[in-house]
Amino acid sequence: MATYEFTVTVKTQYLPEQSAPEQGRHVFSYTIRVVNTGTAGAQLIARHWVITDANNKIEEVRGLGAVGHQPLLQPGEQFEYTSGTVLATPQGSMRGEYFCVAEDGHRFEAPIPEFVLSLPRTLH
């Protein structure tokens, strides 16, 4: 029996050179790695993001693929990409899911665990 599973990991980075804190503009990049940890080949079709800033302002983003790609991943294969977001506050979080379709037509969701976007801690 086939199993349908993508495992998602995230690394984040604050981009000070693109940010303007005095104007409420905090830019973050995030690198996502999607690994097919199931036993069936499957394609990432669409995404859904929930982006929350420190004021609890929520923005939802839906769209096809990820950065213009709809990768077909066989078991053990991975897809990695980097994207970004702009927050009005120096902290926030993102979470969501990818909508996927296996080669046998089975549909499933791959959760994107919540991750924190935050300015790096500085020591004085």
| Residuewise pLDDT in 10s, the chain (124 residues) | 899 999 999 999 999 999 999 999 999 999 999 999 999 999 999 999 999 999 999 999 999 999 999 999 999 999 999 999 999 999 999 999 999 999 999 999 999 999 999 988 755 4
Cα within 13 Å of Cα(119), Cβ side: 16
d(CA 113, CA 26): 21
Separation between Cα atoms, residue 89 and residue 56, nearest integer Å: 10
- Look up tokens 């096809």; give the residue: 64
Average pLDDT over the chain, rounded to whole? 95
DSSP 89: S
Structure confidence at residue 76 (pLDDT): 98
> What pLDDT score does 6 carry?
98
d(C-alpha 107, C-alpha 50), whole Å: 21
- The pTM for the full model equals 0.92
Q: What is the Cα gyration radius of the chain?
A: 16
CA distance 35 to 42: 11
CA-based torsion, 78, 73, 75, 12: positive or negative: positive
CA angle 76, 82, 83 (to 5 degrees): 135
